[in-house]
Amino acid sequence: MTSRAPALLRHHSGSLLAAGLAAATLVALPATSVAASTAGASTGAAPSPDGTRLSFAFDTGPALSDGDRVEGRPRRSSGTVRSDGARLKRGKGVSGRAVRFPCVTCGRAIIEVPDRSTLDPRTDTFSFGASVRVTPRQAAGSMNVVQKGWYDEVGGQYKLQVDDGVPSCVVSGSAGRATVLSTAYVADGAWHAMACERSGGTVALSVDGSVVASAAVETGHVDNAAPVWVGGKEIGTGDPDQFRGRMDDVFVRILR
């Protein structure tokens, strides 16, 4: 038996201790334990029906090269492709089309969305995620899906990743860092919807609509000056965490 995802998630079917902060990591909680800790997750008013601050559906347009614009919703949340010559190609998505990130030997390409205050959750309930399709061969190593801020970023960080085919997420802020690890394996060549939600003192990781792991820790205020990166880290860094595979339905939602 599995628990259903918190209400905000249902809109979408390194863990070292920083100085002076509290941290918690909880791996693959039983569903009965998760349900109690995530009850009542969707609270507060949102400026739009589901609190969407960033969304990429990838349904239109040709392949994308370095410097190309990626249309998002709302329009001011559009991003730019950053690459070392690799391209983001189009392919079949969950519904409609998706983007195919570079193959294992094909270089690097990510999407960068400039920093905006509306992409910082502060102390509010928020979620972020995407649908991914990854094969076992593509899953070797670390792959970032959605990230805002580095590990030691002033103002905190939120990040969703798939390392060796296993999803996990991180939320850190003024009070502490939560690293939520899953035992779910998603590198099976099928589409999987992944989402991370912070609500109050709980951070929950959901795969295909069901909570698979949760961490109970106060993370506090999250508000940084970093861009949102989709599919990896900033081009030119030594540790790229490049995503390999297909991605669709990227989102960031904040209930404020």
Query: For all residues of the chain together, what is the average pLDDT?
Result: 84
Q: What is the pLDDT of residue 81?
A: 97
Higher pLDDT, 75 or 123: 123
Contact 8, 42 (CB under 8 A): yes
In 3D space, the residue among 177, 159, 173 whose CA is nearest the CA of residue 220 turns out to be: 173
- Taking the domain 9-13+21-255, which CATH number applies? 2.60.120.200
Please provide residue 133's backbone torsions phi and psi, each rounded to the nearest 5 degrees. -130, 110
**Over the stretch 44-97, which tens digit does the pLDDT of each residue have?**
333 456 799 999 999 988 999 999 999 998 877 899 999 999 999 999 999 899
> How far is residue 204's CA from residue 180's CA, in Å, rounded to a whole number?
7
Specify whether the CB–CB gap between 64 and 70 falls below 8 A: yes
Ranges of each domain in the chain: 9-13+21-255
Confidence of residue 25 (pLDDT cuts 50, 70, 90): very low
Over the Cα atoms of the chain, what is R_g? Answer: 17
**Cis peptide preceding 30, ω within 30 of 0:** no
Q: Has residue 193 got a pLDDT over 60?
A: yes
Checking if the pLDDT of 105 tops 50, the result is: yes
Q: Please state, as a whole number, how many other Cβ atoms lie within 10 Å of the Cβ of residue 211.
A: 28
Q: Beta partners for 98?
A: 91
* 225: three-class secondary structure by DSSP: coil
- The answer on pLDDT for 217 being more than 90 is yes
